[in-house]
Structures are given as structure tokens and as C-alpha cells.
């Protein structure tokens, strides 16, 4: 690391979400490129009626997306065609994206006519896919009790940026301000979870904006912005209960932000246990 680098912690968890807004998979290591974790948000569900991407940000329209779990049948390889994925449906049945009737199967499971697409699907130049977001009626949030459209970055199924990073210091701080809530990393769907040094309990990522994160010997991320949170954080997933107090605490104590977004300056392999330094 450069002499000016300041150790901020180490990678304690890596997560990839092959299908936007479905549950994903935990990894021991993963390749990063300029488009984020290899295979992350490679697929999405599209509503046939309006062409918008299915997103758990609007649970009124898509209440069951967190009941689906997606993982790759074979590990994605850099420079190769994205492999098929396996989806576990809410009823426990398993299907794969290689099945010719995958869109029909998902339509029945979601009670809405949908198609199953890849992020590589060709669109007119200069256009982006759109999704919808419901804003809960909570103090500190914009557009309260309303649904708004938002555009995804061109050619991707990301909400805003290629990589989302979260520290354990932020989770511990939120546990202090709202001890009734279960603040676990999976509730916030990060790609990289950093174990903070020295038992910090603070929103440490706020000070990372505009700086560079060095992960291991190779990977360099440019921290671009805080990560604004939405109603997704309050939804049940696996054994985590629905809890609107989660979002209320975030809005009251950190301007509705948890974690940071980053772009990739230099890619490479990221492994659990890699040192994370702020430059």
C-alpha cells in the first residue's frame, strides 16, 4: 500500500445478486471489473405492461421478490458469456434461466406477465431501463407516500453505481440508536462488507466520499457518494422481520444513508480477509 494509506479494516463478506432484487449468494472471492462484481445484477425481470424493471423498491407492485433466491449454475468467467442461473421460487421449486419457459414460470409465480432479461439486452443508444420506487411516509424522506420512476445507469441493472460497500461500524452505530432493530448487513444488500478496526461505532463511510479505497494488492475503488436507503430496508427477508423502524432510524440519524457507492478504478480479485485501506 502507498505510505499515505490508512488501514480501515478488512473484507468480512462478499455478496453478489445475479437477479436484481432477488436474494443472492455469498462468496469467498470474486473478480471485480469496471462494471462491478462479475455477474452482479446480470439479469432482471421486466414488467410486460410498462417495460419497467421489477424492483423491491416498490413492494406495493412487487411484494414477493425477496422470496426468490438466485445463484449461478456455474461461476461466471471474465470474457465469457454469462452463465445460466438457478432460481429457487417461493414454493421451493427450482428453475433455471436456460429453460425456454422461464418467463412464463416467473409470470405465474409473480401473478404478473413478465419477461426475463439480461443486462446485455440491446437498447437504443442513450437510453436506460427504468424502475419504480415507493417512498415510505417517514420524516426525512423525499416524496413521502408516493411512487416515483428512476432510470438505471445505461446498459446495467444497477440502481446507481457498480459497487456498494458497507462497514460494521455503521451497523454497530445503528444498533446503538435503535436497539430493537436487527441491523444485519444482508438487510442492506451490500457487495462488500468491511470489518472496521478498533470496534468503531460510527458512520465512518461518510468521510470516505471522494477518496480511494484500496482492497488487497490490486483493487482500487473511487468512492462516489453515500448510499440513500429506501423502503427495501424495512422488508422481511429470510428470518429478518418487517420493521419500519429500521428506515426511520436511518433517516433520523444519518440523513437516510447507509454505506457508500463506488466505481472501479482498477479491477482484480477480491477475497474475504483482504485488507481495506483509505487513500
Q: What is the pTM of this model?
A: 0.93
* pLDDT score recorded for residue 12: 98
What's the DSSP call for residue 203? -
Q: Is the pLDDT of residue 124 over 60?
A: no
Q: Is the pLDDT of residue 71 over 50?
A: yes
Does residue 125 sit within a domain?
Answer: yes
Chain segment 132-171, per-residue pLDDT in tens? 988 877 776 777 777 888 899 888 999 999 999 999 999 9
The mean pLDDT of 56-69, rounded to a whole number, is: 96
Total domain count, the chain: 1
Does residue 45 sit within a domain?
Answer: yes
Does residue 150 sit within a domain?
Answer: yes
The mean pLDDT of 49-75, rounded to a whole number, is: 96
Does residue 96 sit within a domain?
Answer: yes
Band (pLDDT 50/70/90 cuts) for residue 2 is very low
Rounded Cα–Cα distance for residues 181 and 174 (Å): 8
Q: Is the pLDDT of residue 264 over 50?
A: yes
Does residue 34 sit within a domain?
Answer: yes
Q: What is the CATH number of the domain that holds 213?
A: 2.40.33.20
Burial of 94 (0-12, 13-18, 19+ CB in 10 A): exposed
Domain, as residue range, for 129:
6-278
Does residue 1 sit within a domain?
Answer: no
> Buried b vs exposed e over 247-273: b needs ≥16 C-beta within 10 Å?
bbbbbebbebbbbbbbebeebeebebe
Rounded Cα–Cα distance for residues 173 and 253 (Å): 9
- High-pLDDT (> 70) share of the chain, %: 95
Does residue 107 sit within a domain?
Answer: yes
Chain segment 188-199, per-residue pLDDT in tens? 999 999 999 877
Does residue 22 sit within a domain?
Answer: yes
Strand, coil or helix: what is 171?
helix
Amino acid at each position: 500500500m502507498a505510505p499515505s494509506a490508512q488501514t480501515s479494516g478488512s473484507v468480512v463478506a462478499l455478496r453478489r445478486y445475479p437477479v436484481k432484487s432477488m436474494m443472492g449468494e455469498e462468496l469467498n472471492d470474486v473478480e471485480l471489473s469496471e462494471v462491478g462484481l462479475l455477474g452482479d445484477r446480470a439479469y432482471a425481470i421486466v414488467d410486460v405492461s410498462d417495460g419497467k424493471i421489477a424492483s423491491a423498491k416498490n413492494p406495493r407492485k412487487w411484494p414477493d421478490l425477496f422470496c426468490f433466491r438466485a445463484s449461478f449454475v456455474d461461476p461466471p468467467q471474465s470474457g465469457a458469456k454469462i452463465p445460466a442461473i438457478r432460481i429457487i421460487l417461493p414454493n421451493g421449486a427450482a428453475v433455471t434461466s436456460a429453460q425456454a419457459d422461464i418467463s412464463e414460470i416467473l409470470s405465474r409465480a409473480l401473478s404478473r406477465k413478465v419477461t426475463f432479461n439480461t443486462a446485455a439486452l440491446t437498447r437504443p443508444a442513450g437510453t436506460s431501463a427504468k424502475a419504480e420506487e415507493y417512498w415510505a411516509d417517514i420524516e426525512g424522506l423525499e416524496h413521502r407516500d408516493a411512487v416515483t420512476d428512476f432510470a438505471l445507469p445505461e446498459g446495467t441493472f444497477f440502481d446507481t453505481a457498480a459497487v456498494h460497500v458497507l462497514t460494521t461500524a455503521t451497523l454497530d452505530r445503528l444498533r446503538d440508536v435503535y436497539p430493537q432493530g436487527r441491523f444485519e448487513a444482508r438487510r442492506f444488500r451490500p457487495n462488500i462488507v468491511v470489518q472496521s478496526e478498533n470496534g468503531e461505532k460510527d458512520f465512518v463511510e461518510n468521510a470516505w466520499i471522494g477518496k480511494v479505497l484500496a482492497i488487497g494488492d490490486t483493487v482500487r475503488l473511487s468512492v462516489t457518494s453515500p448510499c440513500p436507503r429506501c423502503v427495501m430496508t424495512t422488508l422481511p427477508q429470510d428470518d429478518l422481520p418487517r420493521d419500519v423502524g429500521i428506515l426511520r432510524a436511518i433517516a433520523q440519524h444519518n440523513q437516510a444513508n447507509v454505506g457508500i457507492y463506488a466505481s472501479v478504478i482498477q479491477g482484480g480479485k477480491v477475497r474475504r480477509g483482504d485488507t481495506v485501506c483509505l487513500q
